[in-house]
Structure formats: C-alpha cells, structure tokens
Amino acid sequence: MTVASANADFSILVAAVQKAGLVSALQATTPRKTVFAPNNAAFTRLFTTLGVTGVNDLSAEQLAAVLKYHVLPTEVGSAAAVTAATANAKVDALGGKIQLSLVAGKIKLDGISEVTTPDIAASNGVIHAISEVILPSLLDVASTDARFSSLTAAIVALNDQAIVTQLDDNAATTKWTVFAP
C-alpha cells in the first residue's frame, strides 16, 4: 500500500482498498503478492459503466470482490507473466481466475486490460499497473463465495463446456443474470 499511496495515479485504488477493509491484507509481508493495479482513469471508466459517481457509491463487499480479483497470492514478475500469457494461461487470483494473454507484445488480462507499467517493486511483492478495472466473471463469483457452493457444484455436474464458457467469459458481449439458489 505504501507504493500505491505514494503515486497520485492510484488514489482511487487506495480509497477503494481502504473502504473494502483490505489494507492490512495487502500490507502483509507474507505471502508475497502480485497486484494488478488499475489507475484512476480505469476506475473512472468503471464508475461511468456502472452508473455511479465513485467509490462511495459502492459497498465494501462490492469493492472487496473487485479488488481481490486483481491480487495474486504469489509474486509474479513480468517475465513469468509473459510466459503465462504466451500460453493463454489462467492464473489464480484471490477472487477467481484471470486469463492472461499476449497481444502485440503486451500482457492482457481477461482480454480487456493491458499491463501499462510492469514490475513496480514493493516490499511485499510486485505491482503491475493496468489500463482497465477487470471484473470477475459469474463463475468466478460463484466459485469463490461459499454461499454458492451448491450452484458451483451443479454447474460442474452439468459437464457442459458451453455453459461454463458463457459463465466464465469476462469479455463476452452477451451479459447474463443468474438467479443463484
């Protein structure tokens, strides 16, 4: 948090982390972490998309779900991220799985956001500045929330890759509403 707090372009991120109650988790020295950090412009675009004016219009729970999706529980420098992106790998974030890909030599997250400044050193890991806030997919939300464990099990039991793909596609143009038991 010290590195992000010292950079004015991360002021909205810092405010969101504070409201979500994640400061101590992100300041912990172990395990070392990777944070994909959206800049202020990225948050402003997200707020416009959501029809809100800022961090104060979102609950701590909403912010925590979004922010956890930007944090990997291990340190992944840009070289390792490029290797994963070249393989179109999914990496485990605290709030789901992020699809990494390599497009025109740039690391992309979920086909939406681009790493703009890699390898910003922090005392407890690494920060990669990104161009857009990424949101967890429906499947990410369901699979990381114990309240939806039965729903997640039912989706897996269906063994239908088309349904899984639809529920796990963050860049999809079709948006879904799921009434989750």
Q: pLDDT digit string (tens) for 10-25?
A: 999 999 999 999 999 9
Taking a C-beta distance cutoff of 8 angstroms, is the pair 95, 140 a contact? yes
What is the value of pTM for the model shown? 0.84
pLDDT at 169: 67
pLDDT band with cut points at 50, 70 and 90 for residue 79: very high
pLDDT the model gives residue 3: 87
Q: Is 4 helix (H, G, I), strand (E, B) or coil?
A: helix
Does the pLDDT at position 42 exceed 90?
yes
**pLDDT for the residue 127:** 96
State the chain's mean pLDDT as an integer: 88
Longest dimension (CA), the chain: 48
Q: What is the mean pLDDT of residues 70-88?
A: 92
Question: Which stretches of 90-168 are assigned E, i.e. beta strand?
Answer: 90-93, 96-103, 106-109, 113-122, 125-130
Task: Give residue 154's pLDDT.
Answer: 81
CA-wise closest residue to 75 among 103, 47, 33, 117: 33
By mean pLDDT, which of 18-22, 96-100, 102-106, 149-153 is the weakest? Answer: 149-153
Mean pLDDT of 29-53: 95
The larger pLDDT score, comparing residue 174 to residue 153, is at: 153
Which whole number is the average pLDDT over 65-84? 93
pLDDT at 156 exceeding the cut of 80: no
According to the model, what pLDDT value does residue 164 have?
72
